[in-house]
Amino acid sequence: MNSGRWKKILDRMLRVRVFGAFTGLILIMLIFTILSDKFFTWDNFISIFTTSSELGIIAIGTCFLMIAGEFDLSVGSVFAVAPMLGALIANTGVPMAIAFITSMVAAGLIGLLNGIIVTEAKIPSFIATLGSMMFFRGVLLAVSGGFPIDYFGEETGFLNALGGKIFFGMRASGIWFVLATIIFSIILNQTRYGNHVFAVGGNAGTAKAVGINVKRVKIINFIIAAVLAGLAGFTMFGRFHSIDPTAGQLLELEAIASSVIGGALLTGGYGSIAGAFIGAFLIGVLRSGLILVGAPAYWYQAFIGVILVISVIFNTKIRKAVAG
């Protein structure tokens, strides 16, 4: 095979948005497989996929919003707000399914509020959702007194369908993660609304000039991010049947990191749901691998920071190479 053929193949690979993230994932998995004989096992894979699913569901919504050019730092708080509200409602005797729907509506209203504040009050989303994050976290601590809220009912079937074990040790959260990835990938890449999301994030002024309702797109994406965060929280609630008011802290930053590792731009207009999926899984792999090789727990955040910076540099080089 001549050099020209190889160059064409390489060029096609570089044009795949998840190429950098996927390459990094494979490399890190190989390293940990060499360092620990317990890493490449089914039980460890299930453990990684479970924790990655809860982060990944949030990351999908975060990535969707980032492509539209906005951030939501409140998703970590919503991750705890939704299941805690559901537990409080269900403990009064209300069916868990109704408690779940009510909580998802509440999560959507939080997203709606964030979107309205950002688009109508012209407040940067970083500031608006930072305030939202602090407010709802404070409400959680005040309502719970800082203690976990347990579900005392016997209606566990619905919770198990959200986060319980289903087969071969796999948890339902993994199924929801995969389904969300497929659904939102289709929406983003194969619908007119997905085109609007890319257009708004790429250049809001131009998008508005061609008739796209920029405010509506951004508000809808804030709602999507919040609802997915609430769903992720319920998958954890389904796993433990209890919710801690501090649950989800720093998940908003890990969700952004997952999206960026997956190739999303902080400036908007570029990214992929598959990339967010890989980014979340990579973070799960990193967490598990460091534990298995005996690294101190506090190195976890340090390694995420290093990988985040490397990913940005690598993805930037890839885009320049493709553009050039």
| Residue 265 in domain | yes
Whole-angstrom Cα distance, residue 16 to residue 322?
A: 10
Q: How much is the pLDDT for 10?
A: 47
CA dihedral 154, 158, 164, 170 (to 10 degrees): 150
Question: Would you say residue 52 lies in a domain?
Answer: yes
Q: Is residue 212 part of a domain?
A: yes
CA 187 to chain CA mean position, Å = 16
Domain of 35, in residue numbers: 31-148+155-323
Within a domain: 128: yes
| Dihedral-angle region of residue 295 (phi above 0 means left; psi in -120 to 50 means alpha; beta otherwise) | beta
pLDDT of residue 4: 60
Q: Give how many domains the chain has, as a whole number.
A: 1
Q: What is the pLDDT of residue 164?
A: 84
Give the residue, 166 or 116, on which the prediction is more confident: 116
- Give pLDDT, residue 301: 78
First to last CA, the chain: 24
- pLDDT score for 188: 94
Mean pLDDT of 150-159: 84
Q: Looking at the domain assignment, is residue 4 inside a domain?
A: no
Phi-psi region of 249 (alpha: psi -120 to 50; beta: other; left: phi over 0): beta
Residues in the chain: 324
pLDDT in tens, 52-70: 999 999 999 999 999 999 9
- Tell me if 163 sits within 8 A of 247, measured CB to CB: no
167 forms bridges with which residues in the sheet?
Answer: 170
Residue type, 272: S
Q: Which two tokens stand for residue 82?
A: 């939704």
pTM here?
A: 0.91
State the Rg of the chain over Cα.
20
Does residue 42 sit within a domain?
Answer: yes
307 has pLDDT over 90: no
Instruction: Tell me what pLDDT residue 23 has.
Output: 82
pLDDT band at 2 (very low <50, low <70, confident <90, very high): low
What residue has token string 């500031």?
127
- Whether the per-residue pLDDT at 125 is higher than 60: the answer is yes
Q: Does any domain span residue 25? A: no
pLDDT at res. 320: 63
Specify if 73 maps to a domain. yes
Highest mean pLDDT among 21-25, 168-172, 252-256: 252-256
Q: What is the pLDDT of residue 231?
A: 97
Please name which of 21, 27, 65 lies closest in space to residue 221, comparing C-alpha atoms: 65
Residue 289, pLDDT > 80, answer yes
In the predicted structure, residue 178 carries a pLDDT above the cut 70: yes
**Cα separation, 251 vs 301, whole angstroms:** 12
Rounded Cα–Cα distance for residues 241 and 198 (Å): 38
Average pLDDT over residues 92-120: 95
Section 107-113 average pLDDT: 97
CATH number reported for the structural domain that contains residue 139 in this entry: 1.10.3470
Structure tokens at 67: 């492509």
Least trusted range by pLDDT, from 48-57, 217-226, 286-295: 286-295
